[in-house]
């Protein structure tokens, strides 16, 4: 009878991993996971019809996170997705040769960060990401593309539109 | 740059899909061949792959962290902490209800239509209607439900709208029953929702829910029959041949669970449905 409970617990480590990357710190991340579990329980009657439990849970988390940002509960400053890349590099970006990955990630617009993390951490199929975030597949692809380029630029400490090979990530076969 | 390999041009999206292993094997081979001649593009794809590895390296350790007790608790229980107490309460109610209803039943009626005629009390009528609805739709092969279980959300939304109150379909897979779907039926005082489930042997079980919010008088008449107990949450049991019905009332809502299952099995289902529908926060 408690199979569903066990199942939900099974998802907690992955929810925490994603939340940690999304929120940037442990406390906010675990708050987000906790809210997600509560919301999932309040909709327990829907579990039966959920074919993709992971997508469902991550979608709950996405909505809660967006809500929390809207309410200003989290300290994160969401950047507009439409901010032209390279025009307004974050302060100090020019001076730092390499930002650490977490700091660079935090500077990505939330929309790009979500897609990038679902791909990188969850290996989620693009179509599943589209469903989870409630956006068209094309939007998933454009956010992924921009997120990757932007993250690369942040880590390289260079304006993203710049030419030239990224020194740090240059890989020779 | 070479045009020697004729295939569909590689899109930016496909480069990402290549890095993410989301291309078919055949297409992945084509894209790899395409990349082999384009070092700049290949370097981009490899940089993306490296990004992923670095992200995993940074955050995968979270997977190995012990789950904090608070999260463990939240994962296991609903926020109100109703689960264990509710089960105990339901079990206690069942004992009372089964004992109290032993002398009453629909035993002997041969035909579902007789059930209604033989039932003088409001609760009996309700159980009889539930049994009748079960008898009519459970044998149905092609159209057992109006909206199937694959569209549970639409089903629940639709029934909630028509019933004038939030409806939920309990999930009973832990007891071996999968939701097949549901339909709307005319009841004594308005629409009635019927949820249909089936087990692996294709035996069907139905949950019949009415909202008697507009029939307060009837509800209180039924309440008086309860020997001072909380009749609105007590279980009652009725049977007709192989068909058994468990039913109870909760405020304006009446619930009946009908199946050609033995009483013990039906008791388990009833306790679970009660737990999910009556005890769970809306």
At A95, which CATH number? 1.10.10.10
From the list B12, B47, B170, which residue is nearest A166 (CB)? B47
Bridge partners of B253?
A: B211, B250
Distance from CA of B181 to the nearest CA of A (A): 10
Q: Into how many domains does chain A fold?
A: 2
Q: How far apart are CA B62 and CA A15, in angstroms?
A: 10
Kindly state whether residues B122 and B56 are assigned to the same domain. Answer: no
Bridge partners of B208?
A: B194, B256
Tell me the per-residue pLDDT of A45-83, one tens digit each, with 9 for 90 and over.
777 777 788 998 999 999 999 888 887 655 544 444 444
Interchain pair A45, B47: CB under 8 A? no
Q: Are the C-beta atoms of B50 and B19 separated by less than 8 Å? A: no
Mutate to test the interface with A, among B12, B22, B59 (most CBs of A within 10 A): B59
A103 exposure class (CB count in 10 Å sphere: 0-12, 13-18, 19+)? middle
Q: Into how many domains does chain B fold?
A: 2
Distance from CA of A158 to the nearest CA of B (A): 15
Domain extent at residue B38: 12-62
pLDDT of residue B164: 83
Would A11 be classed as within a structural domain?
A: yes
* pLDDT at position A138 over 80: yes
Interchain pair B63, A121: CB under 8 A? no
Nearest CA in chain A to B280: A42
Would B227 be classed as within a structural domain?
A: yes
Q: How far apart are CA B176 and CA A37, in angstroms?
A: 25
pLDDT band of residue A96 (cuts 50, 70, 90) is very low
From the list B55, B72, B169, which residue is nearest A120 (CB)? B55
pLDDT of residue B77: 65
Kindly state whether residues A115 and A64 are assigned to the same domain. Answer: no
Kindly state whether residues B34 and B120 are assigned to the same domain. Answer: no
Interchain pair B276, A45: CB under 8 A? yes
pLDDT band of residue A93 (cuts 50, 70, 90) is very low
Interchain pair A48, B179: CB under 8 A? yes
Would A172 be classed as within a structural domain?
A: no
Answer with the one of A11, A45, A76 that is the final residue of a domain: A76
Interchain pair A37, B48: CB under 8 A? no
Domain extent at residue A146: 78-163
pLDDT in tens, chain B (282 residues): 444 555 678 899 999 999 999 999 999 999 999 999 999 999 999 999 999 999 998 899 999 889 998 898 888 865 444 343 444 444 434 433 333 333 223 333 333 333 333 333 455 678 888 888 888 888 887 788 888 888 888 898 888 888 888 888 998 988 889 999 999 888 777 789 999 999 888 889 999 998 876 444 344 444 333 333 334 556 788 876 678 888 888 878 889 999 998 888 888 888 888 888 776 644
Would B235 be classed as within a structural domain?
A: yes
Distance from CA of A88 to the nearest CA of B (A): 23
From the list B22, B58, B76, which residue is nearest A101 (CB)? B58
Mutate to test the interface with A, among B21, B22, B42, B58 (most CBs of A within 10 A): B58
Would A52 be classed as within a structural domain?
A: yes
Would B6 be classed as within a structural domain?
A: no
For chains A and B, what is the number of CB pairs under 8 angstroms? Answer: 144
Helix (H/G/I), strand (E/B), else coil: B248: strand
* pLDDT at position A119 over 90: yes
pLDDT of residue B105: 30
Answer with the one of A76, A99, A120 that is the final residue of a domain: A76
* pLDDT at position A149 over 50: yes
Tell me the per-residue pLDDT of A14-47, one tens digit each, with 9 for 90 and over.
999 999 999 988 899 999 999 999 988 888 777 7
Answer with the one of A25, A43, A76 that is the final residue of a domain: A76
Kindly state whether residues B31 and B132 are assigned to the same domain. Answer: no
Kindly state whether residues B147 and B189 are assigned to the same domain. Answer: yes
């Amino acid at each position: 009878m408690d199979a569903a409970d066990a199942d939900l617990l099974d998802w907690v480590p992955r929810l925490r991993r994603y939340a940690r990357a999304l929120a940037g710190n442990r406390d906010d991340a675990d708050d987000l996971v906790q809210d997600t579990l509560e919301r999932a329980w309040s909709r327990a009657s829907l579990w039966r019809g959920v074919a993709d439990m992971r997508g469902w849970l991550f979608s709950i988390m996405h909505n809660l996170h967006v809500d929390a940002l809207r309410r200003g509960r989290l300290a994160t400053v969401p950047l507009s997705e439409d901010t032209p890349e390279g025009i307004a590099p974050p302060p100090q970006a020019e001076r730092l040769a390499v930002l650490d990955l977490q700091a660079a990630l935090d500077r990505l617009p939330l929309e790009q960060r979500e897609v990038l993390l679902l791909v990188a951490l969850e290996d989620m199929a693009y179509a599943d990401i589209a469903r989870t975030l409630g956006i068209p597949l094309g939007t998933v692809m454009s956010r992924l593309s921009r997120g990757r380029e932007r993250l690369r630029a942040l880590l390289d400490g260079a304006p993203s539109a710049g030419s030239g090979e990224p020194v740090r990530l240059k890989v020779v076969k | 740059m070479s045009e020697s390999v004729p295939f569909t041009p590689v899109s930016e999206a496909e480069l990402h899909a290549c890095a993410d292993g989301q291309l078919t094997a055949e297409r992945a081979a084509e894209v790899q061949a395409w990349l082999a001649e384009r070092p700049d593009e290949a370097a981009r794809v490899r940089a993306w792959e490296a990004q992923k590895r670095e992200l995993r390296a940074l955050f995968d350790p979270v997977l190995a962290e012990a789950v904090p007790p608070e999260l463990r608790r939240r994962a296991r229980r609903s926020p109100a902490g109703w689960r264990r107490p509710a089960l105990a309460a339901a079990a206690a109610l069942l004992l009372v209800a089964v004992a109290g209803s032993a002398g009453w039943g629909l035993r002997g009626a041969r035909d579902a239509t007789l059930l209604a005629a033989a039932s003088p009390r409001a609760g009996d009528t309700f159980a009889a209607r539930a049994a009748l609805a079960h008898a009519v739709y459970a044998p149905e092969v092609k159209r057992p439900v109006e909206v199937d279980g694959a569209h549970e959300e639409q089903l629940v939304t639709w029934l909630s709208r028509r019933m004038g109150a939030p409806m939920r379909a309990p999930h009973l897979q832990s007891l071996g029953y999968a939701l097949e779907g549901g339909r709307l039926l005319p009841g004594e005082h308005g629409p009635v929702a019927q949820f249909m489930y089936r087990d692996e042997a294709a035996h069907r079980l139905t949950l019949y829910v009415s909202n008697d919010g507009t029939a307060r008088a009837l509800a209180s008449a039924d309440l008086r029959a309860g020997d001072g107990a909380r009749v609105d949450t007590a279980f009652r049991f009725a049977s007709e041949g192989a068909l058994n019905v468990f039913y109870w009332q909760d405020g304006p809502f009446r619930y009946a669970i009908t199946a050609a299952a033995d009483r013990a099995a039906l008791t388990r289902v009833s306790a679970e449905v009660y737990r999910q529908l009556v005890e769970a926060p809306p």
